Structure 1
């Protein structure tokens, strides 16, 4: 499964990353906070959470609003 990381620029395009790459980053640090783009569907985010919880990890998920517009948000996922 591929998921889109948060944009680094407002007009930029989000970059895709595989769940396996996320898992590799976690192995190096043990825990990590990831920011994902609003273009990801809520269902994909729930699948990501289920995947890591099935691996025995704790996952904290929330939406972060960074502007006044309804479309100004990103997803924050903290995996321990």
Structure 2
């Protein structure tokens, strides 16, 4: 009777680990990440490069509602109907 040529492959995968093998940890322990240190700066370091804040509130501007009535936006379907 012939011996199975793949029997040694199956036996290799089912073999016990070497006695010299020492299993290690799955993932090494790491220290928790440290928080990023952001120093407190009481005033601007480079005031000539940073524009001052505007005191104007955009809500104070008058609303211009007349622009909506003057412009008519036509879609592609409406433009086709006008050409006929």
- Class of the TM-score when normalised by the shorter of the 2 chains: under 0.3
Higher RCO (CA 8 Å, separation ≥ 6 residues): 1
Instruction: Report the TM-score when normalising by structure 1.
Output: 0.17
Instruction: Report the TM-score when normalising by structure 2.
Output: 0.16
Larger strand percent: 1
